[in-house]
Amino acid sequence: MPVAVPAPPAERTTTREPYLRLHWKDDITGARGFLVVDTLVGGLATGGTRMRAGCTLGEVEDLARGMTRKTAAFDLPVGGAKGGIDFDPKDPRAVEVLSRFCEAMRPFLDRHWVTAEDLGVPQHLIDEVFAGLGMRQSYHAAIERSGDPAATAARIFRGLTAEVPGGLLGDVIGGYGVAQACLAAAYVRGWDVGRTTVAVQGVGTMGGAAAWYLHEAGMTVVAVADAAGTLYDPAGLDIPALLATRDRFGEIDRAAVPARVQCLGREEIIGMDVDVLVPAAVSYAITADNCASVTAPIVVEAANAATTIDAELDLTARGIAVLPDFVANAGAVAWAWWLILGEVDDQPGTSFLRLSREMTAKVSDLLTRWTPADGPVRWTADVSHLVREVPPVVVP
């Protein structure tokens, strides 16, 4: 039976203006780009740069606001920002567009904005662009604050490129955090991990790593979706084998898919009969138009802003818990700053252990004290309205 969801507290209905909005237009292609600094803490803000056709200023604002929540949720000494470019990342001119965008944003990238990979922009690519512009790496603004920038940059490079099961540590750590959030949710609900089923929308950096580590932990990943459609096997998919066939755009080679696996429509992933649904592809994947098809009792937002506000209210009224992105997928930014600050190094075990402990504690606390009558889980977890006084960042 649906439950009555209370109105949101006043501080969550008031739209706070971001610290800074910047618009950019590429003279060559006509591509438009945006930088939104939602909050500046200690002179710094952090958030990735995405590229997709149709990216809007409103989308980038939402994402920047989410970064503020992430940094607050994990008590990081930095504010939230986001960059976005309205351009197709598959276009052969995409790298040049990204380079010109970063060149235009150079004053902020030099001193105030620490960026990284996001949708359509892998980490190795943005690092190459930074190198071409004479900056060490996309964490440039933080690196230059250190006492020994060369040593700090070397530590960051070793951490990002450390080889781990499933790929490179810098590529998989965010998905590992999502997997830990799913496992913690199953534990709170008292589910047997081996009998818990999961569907993952998106098999790029975040979704692919989440699926890989969930499979490794023993959960049954019965469905994954990419741009070409949904792959479904009720007995469980061979996730490592499927991921090994991905192209550079994160799409699985259908010629390598076993005959027993059903090939369904791309949108069917949302309505899969599973215990945990992980939207890990694009923002606003679950909307008022499709949320009625969601039956999974737990939704874990691996993509930023994966669920619209109205859809989240509907799901909550039906007793479905939506673990918000600023907790569930914040492992990547939390780990990046632990690495920048020297709190973890290039030893993967240290990073995995710390992220597992922190993610498990946060998700367990949220779900243990949450009921649908309280409103969406994000209201319980929301920290964006908190004013934080933190000292300036000191990078060793």
For residue range 145-171, list pLDDT tens digits in order. 999 999 999 999 999 999 998 899 999
d(CA 170, CA 172): 6
% of the chain with per-residue pLDDT over 70:
92
**375-391 pLDDT tens trace:** 999 998 876 444 444 45
CA–CA separation, 366 vs 291, rounded Å? 22
Q: List, for residues 170-186, the tens digit of each pLDDT value.
A: 999 999 999 999 999 99
With CA atoms as reference, report the closest residue to 272 among 237, 322, 227, 222.
222
Q: Using 50, 70 and 90 to split pLDDT, how confident is the model at 260?
A: very high
DSSP string computed for 213-265: HHHHHT-EEEEEEETTEEEE-TT---HHHHHTT--TTS---GGGS-TTSEEE-
pLDDT-based confidence at 14, cuts 50/70/90?
very low
Q: Quick one: pLDDT band at residue 66, thresholds 50, 70, 90?
A: very high
Based on the number of CB atoms within 10 Å of its own CB, is 173 exposed (0-12), middle (13-18) or buried (19 or more)?
buried
Largest CA distance in the chain: 60
Residue range 114-129, pLDDT digits in tens: 999 998 999 999 999 9
Structural domains in the chain plus CATH codes: 16-163 (3.40.50.10860), 167-381 (3.40.50.720)
pLDDT at residue 248 is higher than 90: no
Inter-residue contact 134 to 87 (CB < 8 Å): no
Residue 33: in which H helix or E strand, if any? strand 32-37
Residues shown for the chain: 396
- pLDDT the model gives residue 15: 65
Rounded CA separation 275/273 (Å)? 7
Closest CA relative to residue 38, chosen from 57, 18, 55, 22: 18
Side-by-side strand order, sheet with 197-201: 262-264, 229-232, 220-226, 197-201, 276-279, 298-300, 321-323
Question: What pLDDT, on a 0 to 100 scale, did the predictor assign at position 396?
Answer: 60
pLDDT in tens, 179-213: 999 999 999 999 999 999 999 999 999 999 999 99
Within 10 Å of residue 26's Cβ, how many Cβ atoms?
Answer: 19
Q: What does the pLDDT look like over 69-115, one tens digit per residue? A: 999 999 999 999 999 999 999 999 999 999 999 999 999 999 999 99
Residue 28 DSSP SS3: coil
- State whether residue 347 is helix, strand or coil: coil
The pLDDT score that the predictor gives to residue 98 is 98
| 239 in Cβ contact with 261 (< 8 Å) | no
Q: How far apart are CA 361 and CA 355, in angstroms?
A: 10
* Active-site amino acid positions: 82
Percent of the chain with pLDDT over 90: 86
